[in-house]
């Protein structure tokens, strides 16, 4: 009986430990994907060419480019210089936690932040157009901070 009880406790304890580590892993997974409110994961990222990510992410209500975003955009600029026949559309987006009209303006501001950076790296203005979708076209349907961070983005899309 005593033996059985201790086995039972052991099982309980190990289940508990498993649950804890699952929780910790989940938290760690989210932590590793968001830094200071900006998405740093790769779940939704597509590639314009090998090693050239198509999108950059923003903090809530912000249009400031992070170090990682600038790095991505320099790669895009290099790729655009090599492929001078390709034009792009920068699609700016916001998360669902803002009013519709303000988010349209915010998406436009984000896409333009990316456009300005590409232009500083030698890409001609007439190769880049900009469109804002505000909160109208999320990539992640979820109503949670991770989903929102994926949706606050500017995506570079080939126009031709």
The pair of three-digit structure tokens given for residue 43, joined into one six-digit string = 């779940």
What single-letter DSSP state applies at residue 65? P
- Find, among 102, 53, 95, the residue nearest to 73 by Cα: 53
- Does 101 bind another protein (CB under 8 A)? Our answer is yes
Stretch that binds another protein, among 5-13, 25-33, 77-85, 91-99 (CB under 8 A): 91-99
- Does 127 bind another protein (CB under 8 A)? Our answer is no
Q: Binder to another protein among 6, 25, 42, 99 (CB under 8 A)?
A: 99
- Does 63 bind another protein (CB under 8 A)? Our answer is yes
The pair of three-digit structure tokens given for residue 48, joined into one six-digit string = 């314009």
- Does 42 bind another protein (CB under 8 A)? Our answer is no
Torsion, Cα 95 97 100 102, to 10 degrees, reads -90
- Residue with smaller CB distance to another protein, 70 or 97: 97
Which residues, 6+ apart, have CB-to-CB distance to 38 below 8 Å? 57, 58, 59, 66, 68, 149, 152
Dihedral class, residue 47 (left if φ above 0, else alpha if ψ from -120 to 50, else beta): beta
- Does 95 bind another protein (CB under 8 A)? Our answer is no
In the complex, the smallest distance separating the C-beta of residue 56 from another protein, rounded to whole angstroms, is: 14
**Distance set, CA 113 to CA 7, 63, 65, 116, 146 (Å):** 61, 7, 7, 5, 22
Stretch that binds another protein, among 10-18, 33-41, 70-78, 98-106 (CB under 8 A): 98-106
In the complex, the smallest distance separating the C-beta of residue 134 from another protein, rounded to whole angstroms, is: 8
- Residue with smaller CB distance to another protein, 49 or 139: 139
The site for another protein (CB under 8 A) is made up of: 61, 63, 96-102, 104-106, 108-109, 111-113, 116, 130-133, 136-144, 147
């Amino acid at each position: 009986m005593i033996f059985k009880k201790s086995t039972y406790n052991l099982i309980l304890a190990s289940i508990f430990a498993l649950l804890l580590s699952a929780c910790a892993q989940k938290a760690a997974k989210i932590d590793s994907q968001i830094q200071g409110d900006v998405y740093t994961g790769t779940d939704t990222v597509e590639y314009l060419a090998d090693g050239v990510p198509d999108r950059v992410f923003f903090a809530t209500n912000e249009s400031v480019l992070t170090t990682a975003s600038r790095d991505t955009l320099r790669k895009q600029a290099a790729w655009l210089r090599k492929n001078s026949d390709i034009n792009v559309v920068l699609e700016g987006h916001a998360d669902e936690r803002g009013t519709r009209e303000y988010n349209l303006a915010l998406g436009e501001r984000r896409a333009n932040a990316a456009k300005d950076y590409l232009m500083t790296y030698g890409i001609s203005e007439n190769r880049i157009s900009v469109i804002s979708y505000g909160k109208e076209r999320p990539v992640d349907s979820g109503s949670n901070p991770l989903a929102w961070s994926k949706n606050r983005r500017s995506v570079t899309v080939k126009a031709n």
